[in-house]
């Protein structure tokens, strides 16, 4: 009985800190959600109503036409709709290219022993330390030399780098997968490409999907790369910045445009949040 009382006392003792932590997380969640809810409500107000001082109340008349007007809004002969489509194309293709090369490189270095393997891995880590500002002049000169400036192909070329955060996470994931699966496949007559694509990649499906979602969010929100290397056919992230000047004073239109940019990412994260949380552990991905 004394033992049960002690356990019960411990649980009661721990409940107070847990309640405090829970309350803090609730407050933090509200602080994150409140701006989005406020922006969502104001995106359906008319410009006149918002400028008259109705900043925090519900819209008197819901204006769904704000979304249509924003999609037709042109900035430097480009509409927000065309920027939205460009962002989707760039995000999908960029994610596929980046994750494919990262996964292949991570798999080869994690599972095959060859001279210089550790050096390559060290270089991958070092490149993450170098700030992008330090390599920017060389990057711009390289793109101009190869004729890849101002094109989606050039941006995809930059996104195709196999080193970086995704490489490190996938490397740790492939490292944790037993080679016995490959040995069984070899006995069945599978070659090295079949082992990689038909055995190892399906086993690491969870981490690959998690990395793909995170990469898609990063590309969708990327501002600097399209701004520098896709000036004639820009993305929504760049368009939102330009919209602030083009639609100056028309805040409901700016809010509506921001919601158009945010909602796809929120939906994507909501669909795959369990996969991301399940496969992401402190500092790495589990297989």
Bridge partners of 78, per DSSP, are 75
For the chain, give the percent of residues with pLDDT over 70. Answer: 91
Q: Which residue has the higher pLDDT, 263 or 133?
A: 263
Query: Average pLDDT for residues 204-216, to the nearest whole number?
Result: 90
Query: Average pLDDT for residues 153-174, to the nearest whole number?
Result: 86
Question: 127: which residues sit within 8 A by CB, 6+ positions away?
Answer: 163, 164
279 pLDDT above the threshold of 80: no
Bridge partners of 79, per DSSP, are 74
Instruction: Please state, in angstroms and rounded to a whole number, the distance separating the CA atoms of residues 105 and 61.
Output: 55
97 pLDDT above the threshold of 90: yes
Instruction: Please state, in angstroms and rounded to a whole number, the distance separating the CA atoms of residues 36 and 265.
Output: 13
121 pLDDT above the threshold of 80: yes
How far apart are the two ends of the chain, measured CA to CA in Å? 44
pLDDT digits (tens, 9 = 90+) for 222-241: 988 888 888 888 888 888 88
pLDDT digits (tens, 9 = 90+) for 36-90: 899 889 988 888 888 888 888 888 888 888 888 888 888 777 888 888 999 999 9
pLDDT grade for 286, boundaries at 50, 70 and 90: very low
Instruction: Please state, in angstroms and rounded to a whole number, the distance separating the CA atoms of residues 239 and 76.
Output: 10
Instruction: Please state, in angstroms and rounded to a whole number, the distance separating the CA atoms of residues 93 and 226.
Output: 14
Provide the pLDDT for residue 12: 55
């Amino acid at each position: 009985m004394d033992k049960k009382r002690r356990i019960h006392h411990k649980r009661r003792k721990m409940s107070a800190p847990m309640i405090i932590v829970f309350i803090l997380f609730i407050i933090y969640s509200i602080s994150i959600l409140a701006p989005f809810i406020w922006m969502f409500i104001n995106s359906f107000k008319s410009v006149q109503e918002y400028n008259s001082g109705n900043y925090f109340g519900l819209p008197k008349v819901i204006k769904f036409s704000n979304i249509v007007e924003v999609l037709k809004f042109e900035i430097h002969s480009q509409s927000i709709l065309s920027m939205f489509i460009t962002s989707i194309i760039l995000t999908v293709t960029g994610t596929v290219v980046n994750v494919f090369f990262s996964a292949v490189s991570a798999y080869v270095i994690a599972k095959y022993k060859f001279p210089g393997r550790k050096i390559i891995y060290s270089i991958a880590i070092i490149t993450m330390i170098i700030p992008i500002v330090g390599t920017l002049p060389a990057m711009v000169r390289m793109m101009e030399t190869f004729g890849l400036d101002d094109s989606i192909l050039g941006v995809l070329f930059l996104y195709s780098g196999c080193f970086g955060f995704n490489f490190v996470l996938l490397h740790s994931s492939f490292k944790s997968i037993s080679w016995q699966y490959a040995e069984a496949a070899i006995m069945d007559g599978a070659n090295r490409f079949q082992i990689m694509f038909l055995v190892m990649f399906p086993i690491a499906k969870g981490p690959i999907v998690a990395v793909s979602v995170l990469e898609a969010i990063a590309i969708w929100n990327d501002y600097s790369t399209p701004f520098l290397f896709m000036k004639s056919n820009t993305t929504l992230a760049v368009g939102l910045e330009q919209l602030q000047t083009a639609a100056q004073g028309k805040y409901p239109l700016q809010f509506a445009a921001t919601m158009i940019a945010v909602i796809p990412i929120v939906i994507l994260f909501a669909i795959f949040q369990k996969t991301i949380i399940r496969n992401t552990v402190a500092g790495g991905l589990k297989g």
